[in-house]
């Protein structure tokens, strides 16, 4: 079933970002022509080093750029046929696009359930209670935590942040570094759930990551950004087999990588770039 779907979705991606330029405080140019597409139902990942502009790209899409004095000064962003560049975050959430911000950002002086109910703020229907149960099914350990969310572990907070986004019943979720600060085992668990949510709920995802290993395991397609530009993109397999990607983002998966000499050359090459 997955294969024919892939061919038809070339028609009209759910989200397309076309050559956007983003400026903070009217002077700091951070994105210099970023384009990407996210087809409906897929998981797309956006990789890149610190400061590349990954979070900025997500904030440009979700409208949160405004809250940091940033602006899309060129290009356009199209979500399900609507122009959303420089739109209001509330309107964008209401149209079905939800950003889970970097660093989890749960409301620490509220309980898990209160945090989840907040996720449903824009909804008017009666299904909120059922959806809280649905979130607890994906993240069973949240159900046992009845205290303030500020006392949850880092992993649990990340789960709560993702669960909260589900409460909005979004069509697409933008996830900013879900692996941040989590142990490899937890990262694996979280990504497993992300994939499950995508499969079961049909929610389209754009995931920003530094941890390319994990991100490319779940993603259908990936983009790699460096200093405000997309430098490479391709399907999961294309990226996994790309020599540069292997070297810089996957920590060199091949055997030679283990020899001391090669590590040194890797470091040297990185400095040359």
Ligand X SMILES: Nc1ncnc2c1ncn2[C@@H]1O[C@H](COP(=O)(O)OP(=O)(O)OP(=O)(O)O)[C@@H](O)[C@H]1O
Q: Segment near other proteins (CB under 8 A), from 111-119, 182-190, 211-219, 246-254? A: 111-119
- Distance from the Cα of residue 37 to its chain's centroid: 13
Interface residue with Mg ion, options 55, 57, 179, 204 (CB under 5 A): 55
Q: Is 64 one of the binding residues for other proteins (CB under 8 A)?
A: yes
In the bound complex, what is the minimum distance in angstroms from residue 118's beta carbon to other proteins? 5
Among 93, 172, 225, 240, binds other proteins (CB under 8 A): 93
Q: Under the criterion CB under 6 A, does residue 29 sit at the interface with ligand X?
A: no
Interface pick for ligand X out of 19, 68, 141, 259 (rule CB under 6 A): 68
Under the binding rule (CB under 8 A), the answer on residue 193 touching other proteins is no
Q: Which 238-267 positions form the footprint of other proteins (CB under 8 A)?
A: none
In the complex, which residues of this chain contact Mg ion (CB under 5 A)? 55, 102
In the complex, which residues of this chain contact other proteins (CB under 8 A)? 62, 64, 67-68, 89-90, 93-94, 98-99, 101, 105-110, 114, 117-119, 121-122, 148, 150-151, 164, 168
């Amino acid at each position: 079933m997955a294969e024919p779907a892939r061919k038809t979705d070339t028609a009209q991606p759910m989200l397309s970002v076309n050559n956007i330029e983003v400026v903070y405080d009217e002077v700091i140019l951070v994105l210099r022509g970023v384009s990407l597409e996210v087809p409906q139902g897929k998981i797309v990942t956006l990789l890149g080093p610190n400061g590349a502009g990954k979070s900025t790209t997500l904030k440009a899409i979700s409208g949160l750029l405004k809250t940091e004095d940033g602006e899309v000064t060129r290009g356009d962003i199209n979500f399900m046929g609507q122009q959303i560049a420089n739109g209001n975050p509330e309107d964008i959430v209401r149209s079905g696009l939800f950003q889970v911000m970097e660093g989890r950002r749960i409301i620490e002086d509220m309980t898990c359930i209160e945090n989840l109910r907040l996720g449903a703020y824009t909804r008017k229907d009666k299904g909120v209670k059922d959806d809280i149960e649905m979130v607890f099914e994906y993240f069973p350990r949240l159900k046992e935590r009845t205290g303030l969310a500020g006392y949850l572990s880092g992993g649990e907070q990340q789960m709560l942040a993702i669960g909260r986004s589900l409460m909005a019943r979004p069509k697409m979720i933008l996830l900013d570094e879900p692996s941040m600060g989590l142990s490899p085992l937890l990262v694996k668990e979280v990504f497993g759930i992300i994939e499950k949510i995508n499969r079961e709920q049909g929610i389209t995802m754009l995931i920003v990551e530094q941890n390319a290993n994990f991100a490319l395991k779940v993603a259908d397609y990936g983009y790699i950004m460096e200093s405000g530009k997309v430098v490479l993109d391709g399907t999961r397999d294309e990226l996994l087999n790309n020599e540069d990607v292997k070297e810089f983002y996957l920590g060199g998966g091949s055997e030679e990588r283990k020899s001391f000499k090669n590590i040194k050359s890797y470091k040297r090459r990185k400095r040359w770039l």
